[in-house]
Amino acid sequence: MAATAEKTAVKDAAAEQTRVEKTTELSEQVLEQVKSGQRSAIEAVRNFMESVDKALPPHGENQSRRQEVIDSALEMSEKLVQTQYDFLRNVVHGVGESLGASRDEK
């Protein structure tokens, strides 16, 4: 009887270790994707600002138009950041629920 309980405990520990490893791997993958997305977003903003500088020089006429374009781009960036945040929050919440369900099934 004790040997069976010990084998069950070893199996449970191995299963828990596998879950932890999978969770860690998933977390690392999500984090890397976030970093990649942030680098791409920064590069896109840099390219956008270069385009704005060419089309609407910082000094000269159309200053209000230039500011309007920049404000609009910043608003769009804020929305993208919020969307990314919401997505990550939902992923973390979903993974947490899945892990909780796995533990409850035991």
The predicted pLDDT at position 61 comes to 77
Q: Are 37 and 81 in contact (CB under 8 A)?
A: no
Residue 72 has pLDDT above 70, yes or no: yes
In a domain, 12, yes or no: no
Query: Domain limits at 56?
Result: 36-106
Q: What is the mean pLDDT of the chain?
A: 79
Tokens in use for 71? 């404000």
Compute the distance between CA of residue 100 and CA of residue 54 in angstroms, rounded to an integer. 54
7-48 pLDDT, tens digit per residue, is 776 776 776 777 778 777 877 888 888 888 888 888 888 898
Give the global pTM: 0.58
Compute the distance between CA of residue 99 and CA of residue 37 in angstroms, rounded to an integer. 26
Residue range 56-78: average pLDDT? Answer: 84
In a domain, 67, yes or no: yes
Residue with tokens 């138009």: 65
Compute the distance between CA of residue 63 and CA of residue 67 in angstroms, rounded to an integer. 6
| Counted domains in the chain | 1
